[in-house]
Every structure is written in structure tokens, then in C-alpha cells.
Structure 1
């Protein structure tokens, strides 16, 4: 008796059904799970711009200097897991004198932090030796995935608090479009330090001067899909006041006037954003559409081959 069903028909039909099942799985199951903060990140961003700083050796404020902020973010793969990203962050502020030394210990300012976030939502996770503890907000070194046109709470490490950033439209960085957010920090007392009284106009030999911080303009541009920051600009100001805050600022320790990502940092961040988007586009759109179309064609071809085989079998 002649066989009415060919192996080719069964294989074609079976593979077509497999692709039709795979398409929604890629779009609805795999793609959302691909939207997770990376744990193996190793990124350096550099801000530069004009400003002034207090030279402790010369005991005077040096004006019209070029300041450099360098931030290195290194993911701790060992302490991170499927749900939690642990990032160690080192930030230095350098002057023209300290920058060539390439030694954070000799920088104008050096801080280290350990940030722990939920890999899916970007919300803070209070564990794993986080520092500062606890930090809060929605945006830190990145925004959440699928950035919306609304205000976000951005964590300011110097303020040790969150700052509202308002959506301010879209803009292009190195030819790549992102969402722009802006905000500021009004003069705020953040602590105190012991200094010679004469620095702040006090009669005592040593006093605990008040530290006041402000940031005239914060501007961040984020990639819409991944939340990666492709451009940033800040204008931090740190000053000392006499105990009680009388007389306003007496000594300006640091004043950056529009410190922003260097062109090289912009290009690097944009390249990373493009790469992230390409991967998500492949998993969430390109592959599902290709699987659905190919699966539909193969399923239809398989059905046709099965029917034709049965018809031929019936004739014989």
C-alpha cells in the first residue's frame, strides 16, 4: 500500500507550529526577562567643564579652572543574582593639578559607593552592604526600563536625598534621540566640618562650619527603552558658612558651572544604548515577527503537503 503522508510534510508542519508557538513566547516571556539591569557592567563616564575650587595649600579659591569628574561603575557579579544588581561606584573630582596624577587619593574629592537595585524595576534594594544606606528614589546611574514622560526622583549622593527631575522633552545626543529631564537643588545644609574660624569670619580658633550644597542645574538625557543615561550635566556648589549660617557663604569649596559628559563619553553611552536596544528589538520584535511569519508559511505549506499526500494516497 502506498504511503499517503511524507516525512517532509510532517516536518514542515511541525516546525511551523513550533515557530508559531515560539513567537508569542519571545515577545511576552523572553523579552520582559531580557529587560534586566546588567550585573557585569564596567563603565567609566567623564564630566568636564569650567569652575572654581578652594586650594587648601594656597588657602585661596582658584577661579576659572577646568574641573573633571570621573565615575567608574563596576558590577559585582559575585554578590549580584537573578533579581538584584550590585554596583560599586568610584567618583573623583579633579583639578588641572591632580588630574595628571591619576591617583584618586590625591584628587580634590574621592567617594566610593555601593548601589544595590532591583534588576527589573530599578528600585533600591537594601542589602549586600549598600552605601550610602539607605538610598532612595527611582533613577540613579540609570532610569528604569521604558522611561515615561513624567517626573522621576533622582538620587543625589552629595545631598544624600532624592531630587525631582521633570520631563523636559526630547533631544538628540550624537544623533541619538533621548528623553531629557531637568531639576535643581536649592542651597541645603548637608553637614559640618571643623575649620579655622578665620575662614568663615569667626573669632574662635577652630569652629564647626556648616557645609551647604546646591546644584543650579541638573540635566539628564535617558534612552527611552533601556533607561541608560546618554548625557548628563550638573552644576554643583559646595560652600562653608559660619556656625548658625550667619552671613551666608564664606568660602566656596567647589563650584562647577555646567560640568557635562565629554563627547567621548557621549559616544560611548550612545553606542551602549544602541547595542542594548538592538538586543531588545531582536528578542521583542524582530525575532517574534520573523518566527510568526515563517511559522505561518511553513504551517500552511505543511497542511498543503499533508492534504496533497492524502489525496494522492486516495487515488492510488
Structure 2
């Protein structure tokens, strides 16, 4: 007798081997390359809160104002493709009900355009392509992929420096669980501004180069662990003016204990986080496990069939012990 493998057994064995090889490739090669920051991003986040705002018309601080912060992020595809990094153009406007709606963002209470350039995989700042300001730290607008339970250096554009955000456990936003980080900023001088002397308690001087100070009552960010997307953000900015060399605030430009994502912004951020993290999980976990299990089963079945094979006689003759002798 001789054993011969059937075509089916060889196909099963080959397919099983292929899936076993594919599984680690998906987890260790494909998934890390799928975790990249987009270059065609176009999102808008809206924050709302209440606080005190300096009225330039009345030259005084008005309390109890509703404050709206709008942050628009758009990817510069041409610059991104040329550099190989993610080039994001960001505009941040601060408004009260008095300045909304505004046909031109320049009419806002405050308007800040800037450009952030980052490595698409690590999210680390890259200094090229007309980046302004010189952004540092580990995260800004979003965290890196695969967020860890540790302290991160978050870029604060108003401060012009980084803030240490510490891990504070998990929290749910619109039913979605993320990592919670918090931090604050002590009063820090951030620049100078030419203002009438009366604003900083120096009425005898028509113009004074006042010191501009900034602090933050507290940051609170809830972040999707897989993608680093911020699904909830809260900030408490305070900006004041001081007379040159003074150690006390003379005027409050903006002060709010809490300005946070609106409900609509939270829902959209959660929707995108679910979509993106689901895709990463499918490539990095679900597909590799499925491929490994299916490959193992197919390889075992195919191997067993190859070993067993099919029994075929070596010739068409009847075995000797079955022949009937002739008698004469």
C-alpha cells in the first residue's frame, strides 16, 4: 500500500500555515503602522462656561458673562505630504454673547491662529513647516496612541510652555470610559501689553507697558486610551494685568473657573474615539486572534488528513491468498 495526500488536505494545511504567519504580522507590523495621526483632519471643538471678561468699551471687568471658546483644527494636506509629518492649522477664538455670532473670527474677543506640526506615529512635536509657536512637550490637542497611566507634559498655548498633567484614574463621558488627567498653572508672567495707565491704577500716565499674567484654576482631560483622542476637556483660565513691577493684579481680562466641552462636542469626540479605537482593535487584537485560532484549527485538520492520506493498491492484481487454484 502507499499513502497519497489529497488536494483538500494540502489546501487546508497551507491555509492554516498562512493564517498562523499572518496573525503576528497583523499585531506587530500592520497595527503599529495603522496608528497614525491623520493629515486631512477637519474638526471643531466648542467650550462653554461663565466668568468675568474685560469690556474694552467700558474699560472695566464685567462679571457673569457667558464665554464661548471655539477651536478649529484643519490639516494642511499639501504641507503634510511634502514633509511626511502631520501639519495642523489651529484657530482659537474666545467670545461672549456680545461678539457672537461673528462673520469674521478676527471680531472675536480674542483670536489666536497657530500651526502645530507633529510626528504622525509618536505625536511628538516636529519643528518645521512654519510651525508657530515653538511647541514642546508630549501632547497638545491630543495624546499619543496607547496612553499610559502616568504624568504627561501637555502644551498650554496661552502659557507658552508645558503643564504637567497627572493620571487620576478613569472616568465616563457620554457612557464611554477614558483616562482622566488633571493639572493647573500658578500665576505666571506671559508678556506685556500697552494699555492706558488708568487700567493698572496709574491714572497719571497715559500709556503703561503693563505686565500680562496667566494662571489656570485647573485642567481636566478625559482621553481615549487607544487613540489618545480627548473626549472631554475642561480649563479654567485667568488672565490679568499688573503695573510694571507690581505683585498684585490691577485688572482682570478673563477669569472663569470652568470652561468645558459642550455636550455636542463630547458626543462627537466619543463617536470618533469609538470608531478609531475599534479599527485599531480590529487590526491589532480581533483579527490576529481570529487568524491564529482559525490557522491552528485548519493546520491541525490539514495535517491529520495529510498523515492519513488515502490507501491505494500498488497494482490491479488480486492478492495471492484470494486466488483459487486450478485442478486438472
* TM-score, normalised relative to structure 2: 0.91
Quick one: distance in 2 between partners of 1:127 and 1:100? 35
In structure 2, the partner of 1:226 is 227
Quick one: distance in 2 between partners of 1:283 and 1:235? 39
In structure 2, the partner of 1:61 is 61
In structure 2, the partner of 1:112 is 113
In structure 2, the partner of 1:39 is 39
In structure 2, the partner of 1:172 is 172
Tell me how far 1:83 sits from its aligned partner.
Answer: 5.2
SS at 1:36 equivalent? coil
Quick one: distance in 1 between partners of 2:241 and 2:33? 48
Q: 1:26 to 1:83 in 2, by over 3 A?
A: farther
Is the 8 Å Cα contact of residues 197 and 207 (structure 1) preserved in structure 2? yes
Is the 8 Å Cα contact of residues 184 and 216 (structure 1) preserved in structure 2? yes
Tell me how far 1:31 sits from its aligned partner.
Answer: 1.0
Quick one: distance in 2 between partners of 1:314 and 1:41? 69
**Which has the greater radius of gyration?**
2
Greater mean deviation of Cα atoms: 51-60 or 286-295 = 51-60
Is the 8 Å Cα contact of residues 226 and 273 (structure 1) preserved in structure 2? yes
Quick one: distance in 2 between partners of 1:209 and 1:315? 104
SS at 1:99 equivalent? coil
- 1:107-256 matches, within 5 Å, as 107-132=108-133, 134-202=134-202, 203-246=204-247, 248-256=248-256
Tell me how far 1:10 sits from its aligned partner.
Answer: 2.3
Q: Could you give the per-residue CA deviations for residues 208-241 of structure 1, whole angstroms, max 9, x where no partner exists?
A: 1111111111111111121111111101011111
SS at 2:40 equivalent? coil
Quick one: distance in 1 between partners of 2:170 and 2:287? 29
Question: RMSD of aligned C-alpha atoms?
Answer: 1.9
Is the 8 Å Cα contact of residues 171 and 179 (structure 2) preserved in structure 1? yes
Quick one: distance in 1 between partners of 2:280 and 2:313? 49
In structure 1, the partner of 2:278 is 278
Quick one: distance in 1 between partners of 2:238 and 2:150? 27
In structure 1, the partner of 2:322 is none
Greater mean deviation of Cα atoms: 187-196 or 95-104 = 95-104
Q: 1:70 to 1:313 in 2, by over 3 A?
A: farther
Is the 8 Å Cα contact of residues 137 and 162 (structure 2) preserved in structure 1? yes
Greater mean deviation of Cα atoms: 33-42 or 173-182 = 33-42
In structure 2, the partner of 1:313 is 312
Q: 1:314 to 1:183 in 2, by over 3 A?
A: farther
In structure 2, the partner of 1:291 is 291
Tell me how far 1:3 sits from its aligned partner.
Answer: 9.8
Tell me how far 1:257 sits from its aligned partner.
Answer: 2.3
Quick one: distance in 2 between partners of 1:174 and 1:139? 23
Query: What residue ranges of structure 2 are gaps of 5+ in the alignment?
Result: 316-328
Tell me how far 1:144 sits from its aligned partner.
Answer: 1.2
Is the 8 Å Cα contact of residues 215 and 235 (structure 1) preserved in structure 2? yes
Equivalences, count: 313
Tell me how far 1:148 sits from its aligned partner.
Answer: 1.4
Tell me how far 1:174 sits from its aligned partner.
Answer: 0.8
In structure 1, the partner of 2:87 is 86
Quick one: distance in 1 between partners of 2:30 and 2:206? 65
* TM-score, normalised relative to structure 1: 0.94
Tell me how far 1:279 sits from its aligned partner.
Answer: 0.6
Quick one: distance in 1 between partners of 2:19 and 2:220? 45
